[in-house]
Amino acid sequence: MSSGNLPAAAEIGRRAQRNATAAAPLAVCHIASGDRWAGAEVQIATLLKFLARDERLQLSAILLNPGRLAEEVERCGIPVTVIPENQNNFLRTVRCAAEFLADRNVQILHSHRYKENLLAAFLARRCGVPHIVRTQHGLPEPLRGLRALKQGFIQTLDRFIARHRTGRIISVSSEMTRHLARHLDAQKIVTIPNGIDLEGVRSALTREEAKQRLGIEPSCPAVGSVGRLEPVKRLDIFLRAAAALAAQRPEARFVIVGEGREDARLKALAHQLGMESRVMFLGHRDDVYDVLRALDILVLSSDREGLPMVLLEALCLGVVVVARSVGGIPEVIQNGVNGILVDLSDPQSLAEACAQVLADRARAQRLAEAGIKSVADGYGAAQTADQVARLYFSLCERT
């Protein structure tokens, strides 16, 4: 080959290399904590299940602790390494994670909480990963005392990483996007709502059968809350609303599903309110869809929310939702159309909204049917996964 043809040959080689890179699957590794099984973990597992169907992607996962999330990810056929935090300090965690990433040619690290965000920043530098994506599942919960000081430091560090090391930030609601844009570059933030597995969120039971399994008479109204027993969820409001509703509907029964720091305090409050015989504390349940099926009403009483997975799951199962108008909830619920929104934190307001639903079966049926349709139309996991995949490809300048 003559020397005059060398530049042309070099350009042909570069084009061939770019084409080969574009044809290869895009390698993405998710980083998450796996010791809990709550809304964020359900969303991560659901997202990975649907992303795994995209042949243009090569997925892997680093989980900081064992648990159900690891089982769900492995079930999708996704390579995963579990690094227990109680056996490894942060630097050893970085080393173990870097060994897992070796030779995987990962182009994107996708992290899901502040610890994972920090780990992703270290791994990207150490392993030469060019892009970091994070999902903001919720906003920081208000704390007091030393825990508030620690949280403030963590938030400052997390925002620094978001500004300087993160390529894109996925926000699960428009309300959260507005909040994040006060502190971060708005051009980095992409709103992608949570999605649920429309085929997987199912119960084989009728509402009457589901109630009987919980020891509730089929004719008794069942009102419940499903989620972490943490202060931000304001289950004290739920219990006081339950007491007010029980004064009108003494046959009603109330269900609380979940675990957390508030467990003992909430049981004490139920005793104080004289509600021990009417409130069932079920703890963690693996059959949560069957429990939701038993409910006539799901109540969301939180002070703050992102976009609760249990909200979407309840709607999908035909459960009427009565919720405080916080976070991304009003982006899903149209008041009086597919659910009921309450603007106040007053327990009496929640109780009255529930009483009105229970008093009008035809209206409750219309709300339930509209809820099913709204989730099917706008919150399927396939739609969410497609938006996330397009974000990945745009970040890497692929089509």
**pLDDT of residue 315 exceeding 70:** yes
Q: Are residues 131 and 38 in the same domain?
A: yes
> Is residue 41 within 8 Å of residue 70, measured between CB atoms?
no
Phi first, then psi: what are they for 87, rounded to 5°? -115, -5
Same domain, 188 and 155: yes
Q: Which residue has the tokens 């892009």?
A: 131
Q: Which residues of 213-237 are buried (b: 16+ CB within 10 A; e: fewer)?
A: ebebeeeebbbbbbbbbbbbbbbbb
pLDDT tens track for 74-128: 999 999 999 999 999 999 999 999 999 999 999 999 999 999 999 999 999 999 9
State pLDDT tens for residues 210-262. 999 999 999 999 999 999 999 999 999 999 999 999 999 999 999 999 999 99
The one-character DSSP state at 45 is: H
Global model pTM greater than 0.75: yes
- The pLDDT value recorded for residue 15 is 52
Sheet of 131-136: strand order equals 80-82, 57-63, 26-32, 108-111, 131-136, 168-171, 189-191
Residue 359 has pLDDT above 70, yes or no: yes
> Do 82 and 49 form a contact (C-beta atoms < 8 A)?
no
DSSP-assigned beta bridge partners for residue 297: 223, 320
H or E element at residue 209: helix 207-213
Query: Is 6 a member of any domain?
Result: no
Both structure tokens of 121: 């920043």
For the stretch 369-395, pLDDT in tens is 999 999 999 999 999 999 999 999 999
Regarding whether 61 and 92 lie in a shared domain, the answer is yes
Please check whether residues 159 and 221 belong to one and the same domain.
no
4 lies in some domain: no
- Hey, what are 145's tokens? 């005392």
Residue numbers of the domain that contains 130? 22-195+381-395
